[in-house]
Structure 1
Amino acid sequence: MHAVTEAVDGRAEPGTPEPVAPVPGASVGRWRRLAGPGALLSYLALAVLVLLQLWRDPNGRVLSANDDDHGVFLFMIAHGERVVFHGADLLVSDRLNAPAGVNMMANTSVLALSLPAAPVTHLLGAGVSVALLLTLGLAGTAAAWYWLFTRLVRGRLAAWLGGLWCGFAPAMVSHANGHVNFVCQFVVPFIVWQVLRLREPGRVVRGGLALALLITVQAFINEETLLFTALALGVFALAYAVQRRREAVAVWRRFVAGLGVAAAAAGALLAYPLWHQFFGAGSYHGQPFPPDQYVTDLLSLGAYARQSLAGNAALARAVSVSATEENTFFGVPMLIMLGVMVVMLWRSAAARATALAGAVLLVMSLGPQLRVAGHDTGIPLPFGLISHVPILDLVSVTRFAMVSATLVGVLIALAADRIRDYPHRRRVAFWAGLAVALVPVLPKPLPIVGADPLPPFLTQGTWRQYVSADRTLVPVPLPEVTHGRAGMRWAALSGLEFAVPGGYFMGPADPPSDETGSWHAPPRASTVLLDWVREYGIRPVLTPVDRRAARTDLSFWRADAVVLVPGSDKADLLAATLTDLLGRSPQRIGGVQVWDVRDLAVAPPG
Structure 2
Amino acid sequence: MVRAQQVDSGTQDELAVAVVGGETTGTGVLTRGTARKRRLPRLRVDRIDAIVAVGYLVSAVVVLSGQWRNTQSGYLIKSGQDQTMWEWFFAVTAHSVAHLENPLGTNLQNFPAGVNMMANTAMFGVGVPLTPITLLFGPTVTFVLVLTLGLATTALAWYWLFSRELVESRTAAGIGGLFCGFAPAMISHANAHPNFVVLLLLPIMAGLLIRMARRAVARGADRRRHIRDAAVLGFLVALQIALGEEPLLIFALSFALFAAVYYLHTPRLGLRVLRGIAPPVLLAGVIALVLTAIPLWWQFFGPQSYRSIDHGPMGNDLKAITQFPSESLGGIFSPGQYVAINETEQNAYFGWPLLLVLAAAIVLLRRERVVRAAGVVIVVFGVLSLGAVAMFGKRDTGIELPWRWAEHVPLLNTVLESRLTMAAIPAIAAILALATQRAIGWWRESPVDWRPLAWFGALLFALTPLIPTVLPVVQRPATPAFFADGTVRDYVDDGSVVLIPPPRPMDAGALRWQAAADFEFPLAGGYFVGPTGTQKKGIYGPELRPTTALLVQALETGKVPPITDEARAQIRDDLNFWRADVLVLPPISNSDTLRTTVTQLLGFGPKPVDGVWVWDVRALR
Please, what TM-score do these two structures have when normalized by structure 2?
A: 0.90
1:258 has 2:283 as partner: no
Match in the other structure for 1:28: none
Shift of 1:275: 2.3
**8 A Cα contact 1:34 1:160, kept in partner:** no
1:469-508 equivalence runs, <5 A: 470-483=494-507, 485-508=508-531
Q: Give the counterpart of 2:397 among 352, 377, 380.
A: 377
1:368-517 equivalence runs, <5 A: 368-422=388-442, 424-468=449-493, 470-483=494-507, 485-509=508-532, 511-512=533-534, 514-517=535-538
1:139 has 2:139 as partner: no
Change (3 A) 1:300 1:259: same
Match in the other structure for 1:8: 3
Change (3 A) 1:486 1:314: farther
1:216 has 2:241 as partner: no
1:180 has 2:194 as partner: yes
Q: Residue 318 of structure 1: SS of its match in structure 2?
A: coil
CA shift digits 1:106-136 (9 cap, x unpaired): 1111111111111111011111111111111
Change (3 A) 1:239 1:558: same
Change (3 A) 1:285 1:591: same
1:575 has 2:602 as partner: no
1:160 has 2:174 as partner: yes
**8 A Cα contact 1:563 1:594, kept in partner:** yes
Task: Provide the rounded CA distance (Å) in 2 between the counterparts of 1:287 and 1:376.
Answer: 23
Task: Provide the rounded CA distance (Å) in 1 between the counterparts of 2:439 and 2:266.
Answer: 24
Match in the other structure for 1:95: 108
Count of aligned pairs: 580
Task: Provide the rounded CA distance (Å) in 2 between the counterparts of 1:132 and 1:408.
Answer: 27
Change (3 A) 1:425 1:296: same
Task: Provide the rounded CA distance (Å) in 2 between the counterparts of 1:249 and 1:340.
Answer: 32
- RMSD between aligned alpha carbons? 2.1
Shift of 1:323: 1.1
Q: Any unmatched runs of 5+ in structure 2?
A: 17-29, 36-44, 216-220
Match in the other structure for 1:52: 65
Deviates more, 1:582-591 or 1:394-403: 582-591
Q: Residue 10 of structure 1: SS of its match in structure 2?
A: coil
CA shift digits 1:23-60 (9 cap, x unpaired): xxxxxxxxx99821111111111111111111122231
Q: Which amino acid aligns with 1:505?
A: F
Q: Give the counterpart of 1:356 among 372, 376, 386.
A: 376
CA shift digits 1:286-330 (9 cap, x unpaired): 32332xx21111122221000011104994552221111111111
Shift of 1:482: 1.8
Shift of 1:552: 2.1
Deviates more, 1:187-196 or 1:416-425: 416-425
1:63 has 2:63 as partner: no
Shift of 1:64: 0.9
Task: Provide the rounded CA distance (Å) in 2 between the counterparts of 1:108 and 1:13.
Answer: 46
**8 A Cα contact 2:582 2:615, kept in partner:** yes
Deviates more, 1:42-51 or 1:344-353: 344-353
Q: Which amino acid aligns with 1:471?
A: G
Task: Provide the rounded CA distance (Å) in 2 between the counterparts of 1:151 and 1:497.
Answer: 51
**8 A Cα contact 2:484 2:513, kept in partner:** no
Change (3 A) 1:540 1:301: closer
Match in the other structure for 1:26: none
Task: Provide the rounded CA distance (Å) in 2 between the counterparts of 1:249 and 1:386.
Answer: 27
Match in the other structure for 2:27: none
CA shift digits 1:244-271 (9 cap, x unpaired): 2232233221211121111111122223
Match in the other structure for 1:83: 96
**8 A Cα contact 2:133 2:142, kept in partner:** yes
Shift of 1:70: 0.9
Task: Provide the rounded CA distance (Å) in 1 between the counterparts of 2:152 and 2:337.
Answer: 27
Change (3 A) 1:494 1:342: farther
Q: Residue 308 of structure 2: SS of its match in structure 1?
A: coil
Q: Which amino acid aligns with 2:554?
A: V
Q: Which amino acid aligns with 1:565?
A: P
**8 A Cα contact 2:324 2:334, kept in partner:** no
**8 A Cα contact 1:10 1:346, kept in partner:** no
Please, what TM-score do these two structures have when normalized by structure 1?
A: 0.92
Q: Which amino acid aligns with 2:464?
A: V
Q: Residue 594 of structure 1: SS of its match in structure 2?
A: strand
Q: Which amino acid aligns with 1:563?
A: V
Q: Residue 330 of structure 2: SS of its match in structure 1?
A: coil
1:585-600 equivalence runs, <5 A: 585-600=605-620
Match in the other structure for 2:564: 543
**8 A Cα contact 2:314 2:418, kept in partner:** yes
Q: Residue 474 of structure 2: SS of its match in structure 1?
A: strand
Q: Any unmatched runs of 5+ in structure 1?
A: 23-31, 602-606
Q: Residue 346 of structure 1: SS of its match in structure 2?
A: coil
Task: Provide the rounded CA distance (Å) in 1 between the counterparts of 2:34 and 2:212.
Answer: 21
**8 A Cα contact 1:303 1:330, kept in partner:** yes
**8 A Cα contact 2:489 2:520, kept in partner:** no
Task: Provide the rounded CA distance (Å) in 2 between the counterparts of 1:360 and 1:240.
Answer: 15
**8 A Cα contact 1:355 1:407, kept in partner:** yes
Shift of 1:356: 1.1
1:557 has 2:552 as partner: no
1:257-296 equivalence runs, <5 A: 257-290=279-312, 293-296=313-316
Shift of 1:503: 0.9
**8 A Cα contact 1:53 1:445, kept in partner:** yes
Q: Residue 234 of structure 1: SS of its match in structure 2?
A: helix
Q: Residue 35 of structure 1: SS of its match in structure 2?
A: helix
**8 A Cα contact 1:44 1:136, kept in partner:** yes
Q: Which amino acid aligns with 1:96?
A: Q
Deviates more, 1:367-376 or 1:441-450: 367-376
Shift of 1:278: 1.9
